[in-house]
A and B are shown apart, each in its own frame.
Chain A
């Protein structure tokens, strides 16, 4: 599903965010990427939807070398991924429903199917009934669940989440992770970056630990 091979990422300023990172995530797997702030977690996740391009090595997603993709092909790659961003990237001038509908605007689904999928996604994250609300009216946990609903509305086979539990209380964080686990249980591959070691340990899933841009452990499944 996802394969990193000797991946390095150096930003234009010269900062090296990732060095010689190699690992594979199989289809249907749930894995965490952990490490301190600045360890390279976000950079690693950004390489998967080609938000960033690797400076060296290759990143394969569903067999596609995303580092070599043409600019015009990137949107089609991203449509098959579910992305949950660290800052959620919700639109606060739109309703909850309109936020979830956004990825469906450029999909091939008709209006009825799009509406059905949007309601189903909101139902899965427990936000059905809040369609008309503005995201600003939601709690931090609810906003994060809305971000997940938007990520899964196109039914992606791979879900990538960057610090989805950051700034959440323990109870909300646990609920968010339960949602990811639920998606994984129906076959969705899930890759979550978090710095919360205790949360990771509670689930006992595979952990890729990054330290100073290098993969310190977890390169192969336990």
Chain B
């Protein structure tokens, strides 16, 4: 039991914060914990949660992806063209959107691995390219999406928000099994020490490429989900989501130096951020002061995450971080 606590300390602290924030939110919301309120809340949280997962896969191998928002904008605008018509057409459209995301991620990965450019700079440049393509696809926000499908994905299943069901499936059917596969372990190994992983005979190059491709894939899933929630394509969403995804993974206990953290943590971090924003709306704080409070809560949350340093027994421990 103690092992469990020390292994998942970061996730447990973050989920504790989330539970407190969520109960305050549901307590202050005029309509309480109804399915309606929860569905809207879950949709917003899950959009950012999926982008945060994309960021997580880049960060876990000691990278960073400043193009997650751009991949999301690109796939969102693409989806706004492809998600209407017959069932077959929509199915193919979804596949095409996901493939586009993976290709974006693969391009990032290839430039990092073979071009030997730092991830932060690569993704800065590719983000500009992806946003450009998104702007060609949708110069102004618009588009049509099949409403039945959008409703099915963004409303509720027997009173439980579908978005939360999707997240549960993602965690239990994808992440927990994936974590134990060779690739899943490889991500952590490369993030902790690329040299160590290489000397143990791990295919470091392939693992890095896979990590960035997964980042692209989840960027696309986020773009797809965003399309279902808003039913429009908008090329201008990139910067906001990129910056929030970094804040989300850090809040969820994922270390930017790589090798530490989990997909669940990234999700919780995103949920915390969005719950804070939702909480602001009903908190009675004057609307002009809300952005300031949001920023301050973000800074305090991050500072608490950094308070680990106060437990360091030796100042030299700090430099390894």
**A-B complex is real:** no
* A residues adjacent to B (C-beta < 8 A): none
Q: Using a CB–CB distance below 8 Å, which chain B residues touch chain A?
A: none
